[in-house]
Structure 1
């Protein structure tokens, strides 16, 4: 998918040069010339990277940086002629991912842009992968391949047992009545047959608990239902 970059630069010649270069590199580019437009763009459009000059009108780059960081976690490269250690420290301290000083070579600029997007993409993928695996105490629940491990040992569950565990694990500390469990897992109306839920909860506890009679994970709230702690 084509990456979308917001370029914030008030110098028309530099803005046109950088925008042309980025387009040649295969990026989708939106460009603005002042801080207010930059903030409006970031609040209304999804970007993969912001290239931000510090010395821009209406709102300076550092103020824009602070506002964006309150809303978004996307990578930001500061681009400025103010090449001092103070400016670098201030900019990076406010949440910039990189700093490139003017004048710069387009080769270096290209490398910085691609590195920032690559890091952000890798981090995003890692987050998605982690969300596929739910960790509860000693349990590792992979919701993608429907597998469960306890202390790195595979726990064999039936589809209904896995469904119940996943329901609890994605809603930790939330209490589910037997009716709610049945409707969620069996996808059918509940007619008051408590035994089927009791049996599945007991079997699930036997497989994931060290002591099923004194469960660590699946807790019973008498007269109400069950919940997962952890």
Structure 2
């Protein structure tokens, strides 16, 4: 599959010396519509990203696992392996950040995508500005986790959050329940961290949105609800009796460490 690459950043001619270029972040695009692939790829390259494009899910899955990008964007309706099947197969082996592109008539698929572990979704038709804002919001969270992990390997140590049977290590993006590892996406981790920081305190959906998304990104209540359902499902996979995330109907969610 051909990969479209954007130009590397270079220091200006007036610089007093060599200036290291920041690492160019890579976005993988998976869509059977080549016109959309071309348009989105060119737009993202103009924003400084490198891009890789794939026209079917089977080809994309192998590439995403063998050589992971920083983030992937999936269309839902594709032949051979659709976006939902691709995400489910990917989540069995990777927590790579994923954004879904959906059409207005695909709302049930959109909700299922979030339940399967997508970090976000964008409805078609969409603006390039919105897409870039969503991408940057998720990548900032990923970079924060990565930088905390690097800091913790040196003299500076980042504390692990212990809440009853939950152990949450922000630096390493590592979570355990009863010493059993639980794999979360970046968005799921941010929501869980916001809840676990203050056990027993009810967090509204808006507060959880603020914790998981930047100010320039707007999502609806259903997005948070879907992520909460996904969190519960993942913890119940290691403990069928898991009930530490409580719902207060009409108010929000809380974490119980009792």
Determine whether 1:92 maps to 2:119. no
CA distance in structure 1 between the aligned counterparts of 2:78 and 2:137, rounded to whole angstroms: 25
Secondary structure of the residue that 1:66 maps to in structure 2? helix
Q: Is the 8 A contact 2:25 2:50 kept in 1?
A: yes
Change (3 A) 1:17 1:101: same
Change (3 A) 1:85 1:130: farther
Correspondences of 1:1-230 after superposition (within 5 Å)? 1-82=23-104, 84-130=106-152, 132=154, 133=157
Residue 110 (structure 1) shift: 1.1
Secondary structure of the residue that 2:32 maps to in structure 1? coil
Q: Is the 8 A contact 1:77 1:100 kept in 2?
A: yes
Task: Please report the TM-score for the alignment, with normalisation by the length of structure 1.
Answer: 0.55
Moved over 6 A (4+): none
Task: Please report the TM-score for the alignment, with normalisation by the length of structure 2.
Answer: 0.49
Secondary structure of the residue that 2:92 maps to in structure 1? helix
Q: Is the 8 A contact 1:82 1:101 kept in 2?
A: yes
Q: CA deviation digits over 1:78-131, x for unaligned, max 9?
A: 012255542222111111000001101111111111111111111222344445
Residue 48 (structure 1) shift: 0.2
Secondary structure of the residue that 1:15 maps to in structure 2? helix
CA distance in structure 2 between the aligned counterparts of 1:29 and 1:83, rounded to whole angstroms: 28
Point out where structure 1 has 5 or more consecutive residues left out of the alignment. 137-230
Q: Is the 8 A contact 2:68 2:96 kept in 1?
A: no
Q: CA deviation digits over 1:51-90, x for unaligned, max 9?
A: 1111111101011001111221121000122555422221
The residue aligned with 1:178 is none
Q: Is the 8 A contact 1:74 1:120 kept in 2?
A: no
The residue aligned with 1:152 is none
CA distance in structure 2 between the aligned counterparts of 1:73 and 1:59, rounded to whole angstroms: 19
Q: Larger RCO: Structure 1 or Structure 2 (Cα < 8 Å, ≥ 6 residues apart)?
A: 2
Q: Is the 8 A contact 1:9 1:33 kept in 2?
A: yes
Change (3 A) 1:129 1:7: same
Secondary structure of the residue that 1:71 maps to in structure 2? coil
Q: CA deviation digits over 1:196-221, x for unaligned, max 9?
A: xxxxxxxxxxxxxxxxxxxxxxxxxx
CA distance in structure 2 between the aligned counterparts of 1:63 and 1:46, rounded to whole angstroms: 18
